Amino acid sequence: SSYESIEPVTSPDNSTVVGAIYVRASMESVYTGINNIILIFLTASLVAGLLGAVIAIFISRAITRPIDEMKQQAVRMAEGDYSGQVRVYSPDELGQLAMAVNDLSVKVEEATENSESERRRLDSVLTQMSDGVIATNRLGNITVINEMAQEFLDKDEDAAIGQPLVEVLGISDQTSFDDLLENPDPMVIETNDNSEDYDTGDDNSLILNADFSLIQRNSGFISGMVCVLHDVTEQQKIDSERRQFVSNVSHELRTPLTSISSYIDALNNGAWKDQKLAPQFLGVTAEETDRMIRMIKDLLSLSRMDQGRSKLEKELVNFNEFFSYILDRFDMMLKKEKADAKEDDTKVVKNYRIKRIFTSKDLWVEIDTDKMTQVIDNIMNNAIKYSPDGGVITCRLLETNKHIIISISDEGLGIPRKDIKKVFDRFYRVDKARSRKQGGTGLGLSISKEIVEQHKGRIWVNSAEGKGSTFYISLPFDPNETGGEWDEI
């Protein structure tokens, strides 16, 4: 394309046109220049835009990278990982925030470790405690229960956690959790376990003393409760046995004293003049006096054992010969009683036969012969006392599992199952009237139990009503132990 222009030429006074000027020029170069300028501008704009975008990306990355890293660190901290650190890129506000996050991570880690350490220490303390400990939330539901409390209440942790405290303790019919919050006084709780071990005679129920304390914040808000359980079963048992013992001693001494007093009063009132009654009254008085003396001696013997002042004088003996010697003595006593009865028709002799079943192996055992003789005498006398006339008393001696077992069986009336656990209690008698009549103190089996336990052994009884009783004694025995001839007593 081109550019054309015609302009008139006039006279100086502009009155006459004297000519014309015709101009014609090509526009190609102008358009080319303009196009070049536009191209340059567009290119510069594009380059500037790209550079701006790149710069913006770098700037945004510089801003968002530390923020993203702080976010990731926060996520790791929430998951319990405090090992990472946020990189500090600059000392500006973001850099200061990154340093604050790092400091927070360290402090939270330290606080968590301290908390975990305290938790482990608390768990260790709760585990090792001899008392039961239970903690609840503010609603009274259990949140913590240690092993001893689980054992006391016969509940595992899974079954107890989340359950109401008053229900787990079995006191929901006596009180409520709200009542405990208002009046957290101690309580005595008896576990409802009516099972009984007839081999040991142990009642498996427990008596627990429960102490309650509130978990209270500084503001006064109650967030829960702690219950501490103390096992006072043994203490209660000792107190009960002490009271029972005093009552029994009083009763056992009162009976012969009453009898003695009655006969002495009768003698004072003139019975001493009666040549037939006076000797009888004096004889009964002497017998009752002897029984009191035996009882007091037995009580003193038990007292020495309880206080640990009764020492054993052990020696190595052939128990086969030792046991046989004691049984031979009972055979001789029976023969003598029969011989005396032939001379005195008024005497009544109970017939019995001793059957022996011994191992053929010599069993050498360390025992105090005097005290062990007392044990066997007590059991044999009871077997004879409660056996029917003509009954068989079976005595066995055998070896098993590094122990010797002595058993003495009778064919008497036996012991009621409910009373088996009481046989070794002080002053216990199956037939009280019969035992007193025959001069028993009610302490023989208690003394026997103490003596056997002094020998690190065990004594127990199996019995069935109407079928007799068998008393067992187990004593430690070294199968490799041998000795010389045992000297007869």
Q: Which of 8-12, 58-62, 450-454 has the lowest mean pLDDT?
A: 58-62
Which of 346 and 446 is assigned the larger pLDDT? 446
Mean of per-residue pLDDT scores for the chain: 82
> Of the candidates 99, 101, 150, 156, which has an alpha carbon nearest to the alpha carbon of residue 129?
150
pLDDT of residue 17: 79
pLDDT of residue 76: 81
pLDDT of residue 320: 94
Pairing status of strand 352-358 against strand 391-400:
parallel
Which of 231 and 483 is assigned the larger pLDDT? 231
Same structural domain for residues 169 and 275?
A: no
Residue 382 has pLDDT above 70, yes or no: yes
Q: Which of 231, 266, 285 is the last residue of a domain?
A: 231
pLDDT of residue 252: 64
Q: Which of 179-193, 239-253, 459-473 has the lowest mean pLDDT?
A: 239-253
Establish if 352 belongs to a structural domain. yes
pTM, whole model, 2 decimals? 0.50
Q: Which of 205, 231, 257 is the last residue of a domain?
A: 231
SS3 (DSSP) at 126: helix
Which of 273 and 167 is assigned the larger pLDDT? 167
pLDDT of residue 348: 74
DSSP code per residue over 24-65: EEE-HHHHHHHHHHHHHHHHHHHHHHHHHHHHHHHHHHHHHH
DSSP state for residue 2 in the 8-state scheme:
E
pLDDT of residue 489: 40
Q: Bridge-partner residues for 97, per DSSP? A: none
Q: Which of 179-183, 207-211, 384-388, 435-439 has the lowest mean pLDDT?
A: 435-439
Q: Which of 83-92, 274-283, 348-357 has the lowest mean pLDDT?
A: 83-92
Establish if 121 belongs to a structural domain. no
Which of 41 and 22 is assigned the larger pLDDT? 41
Same structural domain for residues 328 and 300?
A: no
Same structural domain for residues 203 and 289?
A: no
Residue 399 lies in domain: 312-489
- The separation between CA 304 and the C-alpha centre of its own chain, rounded to angstroms, equals 32
Where do we find the tokens 């008053």? 166
Same structural domain for residues 200 and 262?
A: no
Q: How confident is the model at residue 441 (pLDDT cuts 50, 70, 90)?
A: low
pLDDT in tens, 327-381: 998 898 888 888 877 777 767 778 899 999 999 899 999 999 988 998 998 899 8
SS3 (DSSP) at 355: strand
What percent of the chain is modeled with pLDDT above 70? 89
Distance, CA of 133 to CA of 228 (rounded, Å):
5
pLDDT in tens, 88-137: 777 777 778 878 888 888 888 888 888 888 778 877 777 777 789 999 99
Residue 42 has pLDDT above 80, yes or no: yes
Which of 203 and 274 is assigned the larger pLDDT? 274
Residue 7 has pLDDT above 70, yes or no: yes
Residue 200 has pLDDT above 70, yes or no: no
Residue 411 has pLDDT above 50, yes or no: yes
pLDDT of residue 323: 94
Q: Which of 63-72, 160-169, 250-259, 332-341 has the lowest mean pLDDT?
A: 250-259
Q: How confident is the model at residue 482 (pLDDT cuts 50, 70, 90)?
A: low
CATH classification at residue 355: 3.30.565.10
**Under 8 Å CB-to-CB from 392, ≥6 apart: which residues?**
352, 353, 354, 355, 411
Residue 424 has pLDDT above 80, yes or no: yes
pLDDT of residue 251: 63
pLDDT of residue 135: 92
**Average pLDDT value for residue range 287-316:** 77
Same structural domain for residues 481 and 371?
A: yes
CATH classification at residue 290: 1.10.287.130
Residue 197 has pLDDT above 60, yes or no: no
CATH classification at residue 185: 3.30.450.20
Distance, CA of 424 to CA of 253 (rounded, Å):
20
**Under 8 Å CB-to-CB from 137, ≥6 apart: which residues?**
143, 223, 224
> Of the candidates 338, 317, 319, which has an alpha carbon nearest to the alpha carbon of residue 327?
319
Residue 471 has pLDDT above 80, yes or no: yes
Same structural domain for residues 380 and 489?
A: yes
Residue 432 has pLDDT above 60, yes or no: no
Q: How many domains does the chain have?
A: 4
Establish if 440 belongs to a structural domain. yes
pLDDT of residue 488: 44
Establish if 448 belongs to a structural domain. yes
**Residue 280 φ then ψ, to 5°:** -65, -45
- Select, from the ranges 60-74, 85-99, 197-211, 444-458, the one with the highest average predicted confidence (pLDDT): 444-458
Residues in the chain: 489
Same structural domain for residues 365 and 461?
A: yes
Same structural domain for residues 162 and 215?
A: yes
Q: Where are the beta strands (DSSP E) in 217-259?
A: 222-231
Angle between helices 277-306 and 233-268 (to 10 degrees): 160
SS3 (DSSP) at 168: helix
Where do we find the tokens 């002053």? 427
**Average pLDDT value for residue range 414-433:** 75
CB atoms within 10 A of CB 296: 13
Residue 392 has pLDDT above 90, yes or no: yes
Same structural domain for residues 335 and 318?
A: yes
Q: How far is CA 363 from CA 85, 233, 449, in A?
A: 77, 40, 22
Establish if 425 belongs to a structural domain. yes
pLDDT of residue 440: 55
Residue 169 has pLDDT above 80, yes or no: yes
Establish if 408 belongs to a structural domain. yes
Same structural domain for residues 303 and 442?
A: no
Same structural domain for residues 304 and 350?
A: no
Establish if 190 belongs to a structural domain. yes
Establish if 123 belongs to a structural domain. no
Distance, CA of 36 to CA of 161 (rounded, Å):
85
Same structural domain for residues 106 and 150?
A: no
Q: Which of 310, 329, 359 is the last residue of a domain?
A: 310
